[in-house]
Structure 1
Amino acid sequence: MSNLLSIGKTGLMAAQTGLATTGHNITNASVPGYSRQGIVQGTLPPINQGVGYIGTGTEVAQIKRYYDNFLNTQVLNAQANQGSVDAYLGQISQIDNMMSDSTIGLSPALQDFFKGVQTANSTPSLQAARESMLSSSQTLAARFHEVSGRLSELQEGVNSSVESTVNSINAFTTQIADLNKKIAAATMDPLNPPNDLLDQRDQLIRDLNQQVKVTVLPSDNNMLNVSIGSGQPLVVGVGSMQLAAIPSTTDPGRTVVGYQTAGKVSTLPDDTFTGGALGGLMAFRNETLDRVQNQIGLIAAGMTDAFNDQHRLGQDLDGKPGGDYFKPIKAYIGYDTRNSPLSTAKIDGTVTDASKLTGADYKVKVTTAGGNNYYNIERADGTPLNPAVAPILANPAGTSMEIDGVTYNFSGTPQTGDRFEVRPTYTAAAEFGVAITDYHKVALAAPIATSTPVGNKGTGTISAGTVDATYLAPGNALAAPMDLTLQPAPAGADTRPELAGFPAGRTTNVVLTRANGTTESFAPGTPVRFETGATLSYNGMSFAIGGTPQQGDKFTVGPNTTGVGDGRNGVLLAGLQTKNILNGNSATFQGSYAASVNYVGNKTRELQVGSAAAETTVNQAMASQQSVSGVNLDEEAADLLRYQQAYQAAGKVMQIAGQMFDTLLQIR
């Protein structure tokens, strides 16, 4: 009789537990991260009655949590990728919108600027034309500043996002460590863990994983260890490590992530974070934002250098040599805050060759060998310098060297281990500015003029003449006219006529360049031969004498004394618009800007496709995971009825057992 009561009682209790578990599933069906639970029943040991074993009832062996670690890991990976792609896309879309807008992009401003140059060189004597050129120059500078300012705002936005993300990560790791503690304390039997606490912890790990990709490993007592990157732990058992958002050691305007250990903060490389929102922010900043800033700066620095080089070869309205039209661009030099306090090293970098600029950043480290300090320079991305630059001797101070279009001057006394970050074009757009305000200073004229006397007998002509940078060297500029006279060939095998009149005692060669590109050089003291149509170059001046001159005909090359209406240098300035100057003389200014716009546009489209794909992947992974762990309300309703019937049946067993017991008591 007691056996029958026991069977009914255990069945009643099992059905009651089943009803409670099913009700728990139903009420938590909409809770994020909740995993379906179910009871696992087992039979109690039977009793041998001689004729066989009679069962003694049932027991609930386990409240099972329906969970698949493999599917959960798939969800984590998919969500980490989605978080990274969406964070990247959210940032780059802002650059794409800015650069693709024809009203605020650089291309219209560059076109308007060169249109102003063309107008000025077509009417060089007009004050209004020169002032219009200066006005369009100021407009171009304002546009560079506007674009630079917008990019700087994005940098600040990334800094703010990095800081808030790090704070979220720290909050999650603290909560996960606290749940580890609670789970360990509640785990009396490894087969019967606190399921609800496990769900809460898993959901926190998913939330953390969307911020930064994590690696999860099991530990004792159902605890989990969580790490990032190459193994930096965030949660170890009941302890949590903290990240910190700190300024870069070489750029205080750039927020990086540090790892706190033993009261110290060590900077983690940006590539530590390969997923989640933090990984997306780092990838956006390193791959796109820095690149665009450097490329826009490269255009600004290239424009400054190339335009200044040509402007210095001109002559202004007052007959003086042209100066810098734009303010020279300085490279950004970041001094590492960890450098020795004894270090007095100073590095100054000025853009001096637009064609050699790479748009790359550089690292400088000081080493010691043989009692001397050396600066070792390499590109930040590890690309070798071409040509390779040997370590630069730091002692004595005052060393100067050009590297990738930037001339560096090293001074002071560095200490071993000092580090510097060099970003040649990083701030160039913000620094871009017009150096002159007086229209008289615009050098549209050429510094030399050529002419032929009316008394010449032949039909010889001389070109207007041009100058190059050599003309600016001391002693090369003409102080007085140089009259060249065609004379018969001296006695000898060379029967070509001679051009006499080059300065007596000249110290440089005269170079003759033919139409087919071949050259011939005439050293000091040797006759300068004449070939019709060939270009003669001397002391930075170049001119060509063509036609059919006669012996005794003269050709004059001299200073430009009536250059008010001369726009020859202005034509050369305007020609810079279509000249391949940047990227090793392979791209124009507008072509380089178009390449940057194209890169951002393609990257944005790539991320848009990637975002849609990532969302699909997450949905599929979640569907697979929910097929195991999710709560189906229809199934739970069916289970309610099943356990209700089991409860009623078990109760009926107990009722019958009671009636049988009462019958026995009534027997006399």
Structure 2
Amino acid sequence: MSILSLLDIAKSGITAQRLALEVTSENITNVNTPGYSKQTTVFTTATVSQERGFPLGNGVRVAEIQRAYDDFLQMQLKSENTTKGWSDTVLASMTRAEQLFNEFTTDGLGKSLQDFFSAWQDLTANPQGQPERQAILARGQQLADQFKRVNSYLNDIRTEANQSLEGVTADVNDKLRKIASLNEQIKQIEVQGARANELRDQRDLAVRQLAEKVGITYMEQTDGTLNVSLSLGQPLVLGKDAAVLSLQPDAANSGFYRIYSTAPGGKTAVDISSIVGGPGNGQGEMGGTLQVRDSLVNGFLADLDELAYTLATEVNAVHSSGFGLTGSTGLDFFSTPATMAGYSGLGGISVAISNSNDIAAANADPSVGGTGNNTNAKDIASLFDKILPLSGGNMTLGGFYNSLVGKVGVSVQNAERSATLSEGVLKQLDNLRESQSGVSLDEELANLIKYQKAFEGAAKLINTGTEMMDVILGLVR
């Protein structure tokens, strides 16, 4: 081996250790960078050559800069982020809805329902009493107002969920553009034989963030790009091209949005609302938002309408057959329901009479024996405990209200349970990723010293080779 070969070997050592020091420095400086995966310098011996019949090495070279990455773990993080996005979104809305519904022992619709029938019970003791009659009008109006308050609040939840789609859609589009841009950059780097580790880390983080917004799947291509699709297959990112999600007015539901997608590189937008938020498909924040708006809250509103409609229909049927103090008859107590849908809201349930003398407590005309008659008042008061055929089965009005409260509570519990579970799983997955891909400062500082010493050794080898060359040149002179 010549002195020049010795210097070449030393040069390879300096070059390799310098690169290793740069990689270690990159790890240390990115110890707190979200999504960053530690990198490792992989060394290999240079090509072996024959020297006087003996195989001798020609130094060291860097085979690759390896990224600590687990694709299976990335898929798990993606899936769990999707669940968390859905759970948090539904939980926030259902917690708000839960505040509306209270037991009969507290203020709210349930208490107003009980107070209304209690007022009719009080009237049976004094059918001609004006205070009792005024109390019925007041309790009836209070009950109607409570129906409208709850209806309005539930509709506010739907409206806010609908408006939140604007922000979610913008976030999704931003993530799609970012992934497509990173695809192009990664392809340009890796087609030259390099490895775009930092860009891949950024892309993986963007994928996890996108998964929190909407349910997705992905597949890496041979050129290093990542194709991303909705869970049911509609493409979102193809190479350097990204889909564009947009919101368009829903013709069947005024004021609400439908979600459309223009495929990567395409020009025609297609409706993906049922794909993103349909039964069994609702995933991520977008799916959770659509489920709250189109399914959960709608179910509560339908039950609320049914309760108000049944209450008014049953009370009106008895009241219209009775007689007031002045002989009035055939009057509905509540506004006559045209349809069940929307009856609990504005323009729906209200007290139809204003004169307390028109409250039909008797079942006979006062002029022929109705004075002091409380039969009709007793019949209305008994409606509270009457078993009625309702959508949830045969039950009382109070029982139906309790079932509505139960539905809201179950929705909250389901979302809460899912949110707690996904939070715990995500914490475990993050810890696992940190243990595999996170930067350990202790380990990197140890590597720093190791590579520094190797660099110093290679530099010393150059000094030795230089001295040997000087000796030889001195002999020649």
**What TM-score comes out, normalization by structure 2 length?**
0.92
8 Å Cα contact 2:81/2:209 also seen in 1: no
One-letter amino acid of the counterpart of residue 417, structure 2: V
Residue 57 of structure 1: CA displacement?
A: 0.9
Partner of 1:385: none
One-letter amino acid of the counterpart of residue 438, structure 2: G
One-letter amino acid of the counterpart of residue 355, structure 2: D
Residue 662 of structure 1: CA displacement?
A: 0.9
- Deviation digits for residues 536-573 of structure 1, max 9, x if unmatched? xxxxxxxxxxxxxxxxxxxxxxx972313222111111
Query: What pairs up with 1:217-366 in 2 under 5 angstroms?
Result: 217-260=219-262, 262-269=267-274, 270-271=277-278, 273-330=281-338, 350-351=339-340
Partner of 1:212: 214
Query: What pairs up with 1:570-589 in 2 under 5 angstroms?
Result: 570-583=377-390, 586-589=394-397
One-letter amino acid of the counterpart of residue 576, structure 1: L
Q: 1:603 aligns with which of 405, 411, 414?
A: 411
One-letter amino acid of the counterpart of residue 140, structure 1: L
157-166 vs 278-287, which moves further: 278-287
Do the aligned partners of residues 55 and 15 (structure 1) sit closer, same or farther apart at CA in structure 2, a change above 3 Å counting?
A: same
Structure 2 residue 74 is matched with structure 1 residue 72 = yes
Whole-angstrom CA distance in 1 between matches of 2:282 and 2:155: 24
79-88 vs 265-274, which moves further: 265-274
Partner of 2:39: 37
- Deviation digits for residues 504-537 of structure 1, max 9, x if unmatched? xxxxxxxxxxxxxxxxxxxxxxxxxxxxxxxxxx
Residue 440 of structure 1: CA displacement?
A: 2.8
One-letter amino acid of the counterpart of residue 597, structure 1: V
Higher helix share: 2
249-258 vs 610-619, which moves further: 249-258
8 Å Cα contact 2:122/2:132 also seen in 1: yes
Residue 636 of structure 1: CA displacement?
A: 0.6
Higher strand share: 1
Query: What is the Cα-based RMSD across aligned positions, in Å?
Result: 2.0
8 Å Cα contact 2:133/2:356 also seen in 1: yes
Residue 322 of structure 1: CA displacement?
A: 2.4
- Deviation digits for residues 95-148 of structure 1, max 9, x if unmatched? 222313754421110111111112223322233322221111111111111111
Residue 283 of structure 1: CA displacement?
A: 3.0
Whole-angstrom CA distance in 1 between matches of 2:222 and 2:464: 48
Do the aligned partners of residues 267 and 83 (structure 1) sit closer, same or farther apart at CA in structure 2, a change above 3 Å counting?
A: closer
Partner of 1:52: 54
8 Å Cα contact 1:107/1:593 also seen in 2: yes
Moved over 6 A (4+): none
Do the aligned partners of residues 597 and 182 (structure 1) sit closer, same or farther apart at CA in structure 2, a change above 3 Å counting?
A: same
Partner of 2:402: 594
Q: 1:144 aligns with which of 142, 147, 152?
A: 147
One-letter amino acid of the counterpart of residue 259, structure 2: V
One-letter amino acid of the counterpart of residue 428, structure 1: S
Partner of 1:428: 344
Number of residue equivalences: 465
**What TM-score comes out, normalization by structure 1 length?**
0.67
Do the aligned partners of residues 572 and 204 (structure 1) sit closer, same or farther apart at CA in structure 2, a change above 3 Å counting?
A: same
Q: Which one scores higher on RCO, CA 8 angstroms, separation ≥ 6?
A: 2
Residue 273 of structure 1: CA displacement?
A: 4.7
Whole-angstrom CA distance in 2 between matches of 1:444 and 1:34: 77
Do the aligned partners of residues 193 and 612 (structure 1) sit closer, same or farther apart at CA in structure 2, a change above 3 Å counting?
A: same
Residue 317 of structure 1: CA displacement?
A: 2.6
Structure 2 residue 125 is matched with structure 1 residue 122 = yes
8 Å Cα contact 1:327/1:433 also seen in 2: yes
Unaligned residue ranges in structure 1 (runs of 5+) = 331-349, 352-423, 449-558
Partner of 1:169: 172
8 Å Cα contact 2:43/2:60 also seen in 1: yes
- Deviation digits for residues 465-492 of structure 1, max 9, x if unmatched? xxxxxxxxxxxxxxxxxxxxxxxxxxxx
Whole-angstrom CA distance in 1 between matches of 2:168 and 2:133: 52
Q: Report the 3-state secondary structure (helix = DSSP H, G, I; strand = E; otherwise coil) of the residue aligned with 2:398.
A: helix
**Greater C-alpha Rg:** 1
What's the % identity of the aligned pairs?
Answer: 29
Partner of 1:112: 115
